[in-house]
Structure 1
Amino acid sequence: MINLYKIDPYLFFIGRLLLGLYFLLPGISKIPSYSQTLLLMISKGVPLDQIALLTTIFLQIFFGTLIILNRHLRISCILLFLLTILINYYIHDFWNLTGDPSQGHETQNFVKNLGIAAGLLVLATKDSKNLQSKSS
């Protein structure tokens, strides 16, 4: 019988890589587009917009990288979960766009981010030690 648990470390790495990149790349891209991103945040009524943007950039780059490297996984996932929920509330506020053509797009982004948030919570419960004991 084939032991499918033997591929768990590979699945764990690929999942961490993809989820980490989901935060790392947008964090990096916010640096050259700082002004445009700040204007978006101001238009959405994000409080402390400049501090919020700098914090977002730091969290996405730093903790996205830590997820990829499998370091401090639990705290990285929890902080990025909280960030994702805040982004959903302030940026993807589809409920404020009644009749606006972008409402469907923002609804889709909101739901997608809920899936990302769920994945972060699941990943926060995992570590490489759990996977190593399963695969042996």
Structure 2
Amino acid sequence: MNHKLVTVGRVILALYFLLPGIMKFVSWDMHVALMEKHGMSMIPLLLAAAAIIEILAAIALLIERYTALVSILLALLVVVINISLHDFWNFSGVEAAHEMQNFIKNLGIFAGLLVLAGHSGEESKAKNR
């Protein structure tokens, strides 16, 4: 049962990154505008890098390859996105509340990725014994 739950969680996390990674290319201009609104620089490079990382990492999670490493990489990406794009402290009113909600939601995703990385590391150790 435990392995099945971890598998379901891993697949859902993979989809959480795969679909937005694809959408970054499909809705390029919308994502550029969002990044501009938050005062980011080097937008085309950063947007393409984020999309490629999300897509490739999601595929790795789906096929259960390098799960611990990929989970840590995605966790770091979530931290960068949280600080850069969900900067609720720079807004007020409804916009601040929305950004804070996304910030806190991303902390949950961050936590899930850390748990997956830790669990994957433990599984690897068990297989090598």
TM-score by length of 1: 0.85
More helix by share: 2
Count of aligned pairs between the two proteins: 127
**Higher gyration radius (CA):** 1
Alignment gaps of 5+ in structure 1:
1-6
Give the residue type in structure 2 aligned to 1:122. Answer: V
Alignment gaps of 5+ in structure 2:
none
Q: 2:115 aligns with which of 112, 115, 122?
A: 122
Q: Which residue is 2:75 aligned to?
A: 81
Superposition pairs for residues 8-87 of structure 1, below 5 Å? 8-87=2-81
Alpha-carbon deviations, 1:49-76, whole Å to 9, x = none?
Answer: 1111001100111101211221111111
TM-score by length of 2: 0.90
| Percent identical | 39
Alpha-carbon deviations, 1:52-111, whole Å to 9, x = none?
Answer: 10011001111012112211111111111111011111111110002x321111111000
Runs of 4+ in 1 over 4 A off after TM superposition: none
